[in-house]
Amino acid sequence: MAVAILVTSAIIGIVVSICLKASRQAAVQEPSSRQLPKNIDMAINDARFYEVRGGRSVWELVAKKAEYDKSGDIAYLSDINMKFAKTAAAGALTVTAMKGTYYNKNRNVALRGKVHVVTENGVNFDTEAIDYLAANSRFRTPGEVTCRQQRLTLIARGMELDATSQKARFLNAVDARVAGLNTR
């Protein structure tokens, strides 16, 4: 009888030990893949997009993450760095933004969140939202934009920037200030 109690106790001890070990391992293991939102079909880290015209690269966009919708026509981007190649009219152009949307059919890009545009010759544009329209290689924003070059700072509502020539057109009144200029 004592042997039966001893064997039963040993079996119960082994079963409890196995159950505890299995539950600890399950708690430590992370799921192998994160569940995607219902409207997202695929997610890619360090995604690259290009626009090529006449055999030449116009721009390259690198996003830390790209999530494609189920139709495959739209990619939702985060941590964006977009570089435009030099042209005959102007130097290189770099655009960064926190997030954006890439439209595959027309190659347009909607950039959102701390958008920063820098030209090779040192002109900076800052805004919260700007759209790149691929058909005419133009950036456009109806929102407030700040433009800085050396001592000059311009603040305006609404702007168009030609990515090829890098000429900006402000759509409304501009508040301009020159640093170090005494206006008294």
Please report the pLDDT score of residue 108 as a whole number. Answer: 95
Please report the pLDDT score of residue 57 as a whole number. Answer: 87
Q: Cα(6)–Cα(27) distance, rounded to whole angstroms?
A: 32
Residue 183 tokens read as 């206006």
Please report the pLDDT score of residue 23 as a whole number. Answer: 59
Q: Cα(2)–Cα(19) distance, rounded to whole angstroms?
A: 26
Distances, alpha carbon 78 to alpha carbons 12, 25, 37, 73, 114, in Å: 53, 34, 15, 17, 12
> Any idea where the domains of the chain sit in the sequence?
1-29, 40-178
Residue written as token pair 């000059």:
152
Instruction: Give the predicted TM-score (pTM) of the model.
Output: 0.74
Residue 37 tokens read as 């939102």
Which segments in the chain show pLDDT lower than 70? 1-41, 181-184
Please report the pLDDT score of residue 32 as a whole number. Answer: 41
CATH architecture of the domain formed by 40-178? Sandwich (2.60)
pLDDT tens digits, one per residue of 49-101 = 888 888 888 999 999 998 888 777 889 999 999 999 988 888 899 999 999 99
Q: Cα(121)–Cα(90) distance, rounded to whole angstroms?
A: 9
Nearest to 43 by CA among 72, 61, 64, 66: 66
